[in-house]
């Protein structure tokens, strides 16, 4: 059977793939797995129940799924702090800030409204490693905690959840945003009730779009996956910058004053240089994934900053940051992790730091982003192939070697089998778009020819 947990929790079509029964079972299983250990034993010895922070984004299915999660936890003897609709990074922060044993976020991030998902945070607010997720999945058919009477958990509102998070964000600012005009696109998602307040309190003049969530319009033509409206609004209002969140606000992409997109790689370049100048970039090292643009690595090399690469997924970026004691990393998609302030990608925090650097230097976003030359990047998904056979196919290996020799130091090639479906992703970067497309299509043809199942 395929693994229930994906790259970011359990996700699927709400009420078909992700049902109330599954949500309750996951909560009950997590209560068994995530409350084990010496700290749990000490807590029980002191007569205290374990505690979990539970939150959601505003999509309508989050209402019944969160209720199911809370019921599963309380029935397992876990006290629930219901934080309501808040961003995913806010939930992670509150787990750490409140001293909770773990947290549960009900969100499908940048996916459309019919989808939903459940992700877990360990004590301290960090995402779970694969091995712990596997334990929760294995426990779905295992033992349950079944307290009775006064030992069942209680469910209560986390009354000051938003205020704590807002104060945290403002405290993480290196300088105020005075004089900056910012257009915020909140994706009709979890950022709508927080991001405008924070940017205003930080001193910016704020224009808002995508901040009217109704449970059905999350990510619908707005947010970090749909930047056209933000680009238009920035130009129409004569703003300095546009900041786009996704549905749960763990991502941030930006738009400059002329409406040009500034992606996660460019954002990391800006923040890495700013942190290095302040002496805050630990070991002068940035963590990225293998999908980050070659131009980012070249820009970091030029400024004496080392780059560590991980496989795709912000949790793998976090693992590398923690393992090496580093402070900054992220993904091209806009997940940026600043470990001095957060345990996960935080789109509001990232946006604040972008605008803070503009305010500090007096430079436009375009000027700041120009430190990095973006190499044309072409991605081709080759579907319905035996992706498991790619690693041992000599013909594909030879084609990749030939492409790398052709590109030399002006580009790179990456072939990556999907972890969830019969597909190989072919990515090629080159000095010009025509070369990138030609090499990518040639490699895709080789993959299709060699791996298509007859």
pLDDT digits (tens, 9 = 90+) for 149-177: 999 999 999 999 999 999 999 999 999 99
DSSP H/E element including 128: none
Residues 14 and 135 in one domain: yes
pLDDT category of residue 419 using cuts at 50, 70 and 90? low
Residues 302-330 have pLDDT tens digits of 999 999 999 888 888 999 999 999 999 99
6 or 261: whose pLDDT is higher?
Answer: 261
pLDDT category of residue 449 using cuts at 50, 70 and 90? confident
- Whether 294 contacts 411, CB under 8 Å: yes
Pairing of strands 285-289, 306-310: parallel
pTM score over 0.75: yes
Q: What pLDDT score was predicted for residue 166? A: 98
Range of the domain at 148: 10-159
The domain boundary residue, chosen from 133, 159, 185: 159
Is residue 45 predicted with pLDDT exceeding 80?
no
Give the chain's mean pLDDT: 93
pLDDT category of residue 143 using cuts at 50, 70 and 90? confident
Determine if residue 256 is labeled as part of a ligand binding site.
Answer: no
Q: What pLDDT score was predicted for residue 404? A: 87
Most confident of 250-259, 374-383, 440-449: 250-259
CA angle 412, 415, 418 (to 5 degrees): 145
Q: What pLDDT score was predicted for residue 432? A: 87
Residue 22 lies in a domain: yes
pLDDT category of residue 37 using cuts at 50, 70 and 90? low
Residues 208 and 269 in one domain: yes
Lowest mean pLDDT among 26-30, 206-210, 383-387, 399-403: 383-387
Residue 86 lies in a domain: yes
Q: What pLDDT score was predicted for residue 453? A: 75
Residues 351 and 235 in one domain: yes
* CATH number of the domain where residue 146 is located: 3.40.120.10
Is residue 38 predicted with pLDDT exceeding 60?
no
Q: What pLDDT score was predicted for residue 40? A: 56
Sign of CA dihedral 273, 279, 280, 285: positive
Is residue 418 predicted with pLDDT exceeding 80?
no
283-304: average pLDDT = 95
- Whether 230 contacts 183, CB under 8 Å: yes
Residues 54 and 180 in one domain: no
Q: What pLDDT score was predicted for residue 1? A: 59
Determine if residue 386 is labeled as part of a ligand binding site.
Answer: no
Residues 46 and 78 in one domain: yes
- Whether 312 contacts 306, CB under 8 Å: no
Determine if residue 248 is labeled as part of a ligand binding site.
Answer: yes
Reading phi first (left if > 0) and then psi (alpha if -120 to 50, else beta), residue 159 is in alpha
Residues 176 and 112 in one domain: no
CA dist., res. 407 & res. 294, Å (int): 12
The domain boundary residue, chosen from 330, 348, 369: 369
Residue 405 lies in a domain: yes
Lowest mean pLDDT among 100-104, 292-296, 423-427: 423-427
Residues 176 and 223 in one domain: yes
The domain boundary residue, chosen from 125, 159, 193: 159
Residue 2 lies in a domain: no
- CB-count burial class (<10 Å; 0-12, 13-18, 19+) for 208: middle
Transcribe 401-443 into DSSP letters: HHHHHHHGGG-EEEEEE-SSSSEEEEEEE-SSHHHHHHHHHHH
Determine if residue 163 is labeled as part of a ligand binding site.
Answer: no
Nearest to 229 by CA among 186, 264, 181: 186
Percentage of the residues of the chain whose pLDDT score is greater than 90: 80
Q: Which active-site residues does the annotation give?
A: 109
CA dist., res. 247 & res. 222, Å (int): 9
Residues 92 and 238 in one domain: no
Q: What pLDDT score was predicted for residue 387? A: 83
Residues 362 and 398 in one domain: no
CA dist., res. 409 & res. 430, Å (int): 9
pLDDT category of residue 384 using cuts at 50, 70 and 90? confident
Residues 36 and 134 in one domain: yes
DSSP H/E element including 301: helix 294-302
Residues 221 and 362 in one domain: yes
435-439: average pLDDT = 91
Residues 139 and 211 in one domain: no
pLDDT category of residue 351 using cuts at 50, 70 and 90? very high
423-431: average pLDDT = 89
Q: Phi/psi at 57 (nearest 5 deg)?
A: -90, 175
Q: In the structure, how many helices (H) and strands (E) does the chain have?
A: 15, 18
CA dist., res. 78 & res. 100, Å (int): 10
pLDDT category of residue 42 using cuts at 50, 70 and 90? low
Structural domain total, the chain: 3
Q: What pLDDT score was predicted for residue 7? A: 78
């Amino acid at each position: 059977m395929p693994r229930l947990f994906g790259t970011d929790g359990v996700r699927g079509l709400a009420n078909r793939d992700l049902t109330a029964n599954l949500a309750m079972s996951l909560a009950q299983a997590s209560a068994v797995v995530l409350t084990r250990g010496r700290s749990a034993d000490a807590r029980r010895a002191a007569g205290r129940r374990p505690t979990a922070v539970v939150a959601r984004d505003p999509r309508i299915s989050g209402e019944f799924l969160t209720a199911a999660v809370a019921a599963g936890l309380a029935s397992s003897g876990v006290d629930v702090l219901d934080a309501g609709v808040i961003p995913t990074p806010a939930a992670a922060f509150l787990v750490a800030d409140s001293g909770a044993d773990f947290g549960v976020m009900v969100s499908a991030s940048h996916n459309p409204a019919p989808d939903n998902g459940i992700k877990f945070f360990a004590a301290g607010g960090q995402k779970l490693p694969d091995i712990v997720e596997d334990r929760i999945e294995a426990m779905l058919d295992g033992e349950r905690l079944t307290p009775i009477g006064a030992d069942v958990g209680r469910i209560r509102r986390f009354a000051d959840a938003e205020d704590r998070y807002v104060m945290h964000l403002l405290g993480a600012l290196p300088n105020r945003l005075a004089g900056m005009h910012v257009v915020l696109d909140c994706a009709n998602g979890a950022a709508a009730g927080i991001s405008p307040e924070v940017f205003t309190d930080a001193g910016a003049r704020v224009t808002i779009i995508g901040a009217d969530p109704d449970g059905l319009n999350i990510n619908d033509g707005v947010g970090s996956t749909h930047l056209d409206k933000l680009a238009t609004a920035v130009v129409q209002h004569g703003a300095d910058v546009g900041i786009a969140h996704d549905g749960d606000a763990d991502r941030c992409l930006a738009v400059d004053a002329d409406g040009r997109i500034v992606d996660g790689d460019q954002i990391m370049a800006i923040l890495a240089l700013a942190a290095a100048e302040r002496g805050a970039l630990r070991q002068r090292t940035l963590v990225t994934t293998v999908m980050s643009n070659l131009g980012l690595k070249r820009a970091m090399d030029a400024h004496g900053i080392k780059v560590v690469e991980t496989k795709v997924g912000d949790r793998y970026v976090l693992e590398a940051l923690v393992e090496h004691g580093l402070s900054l990393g992220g993904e091209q998609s806009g997940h940026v992790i600043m470990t001095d302030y957060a345990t996960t990608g935080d789109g509001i925090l990232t946006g604040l730091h972008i605008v803070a650097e503009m305010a500090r230097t007096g430079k436009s976003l375009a000027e700041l982003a120009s430190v990095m030359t973006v190499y044309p990047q072409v991605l081709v998904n080759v579907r319905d192939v035996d992706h498991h056979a790619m690693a041992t196919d000599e013909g594909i290996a030879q084609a990749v070697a030939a492409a790398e020799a052709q590109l030399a130091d002006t580009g790179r090639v990456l072939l990556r089998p999907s972890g969830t479906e019969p597909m190989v992703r072919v990515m090629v970067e080159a000095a010009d778009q025509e070369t990138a497309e030609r090499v990518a299509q040639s490699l895709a043809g080789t993959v299709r020819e060699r791996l298509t199942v007859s």
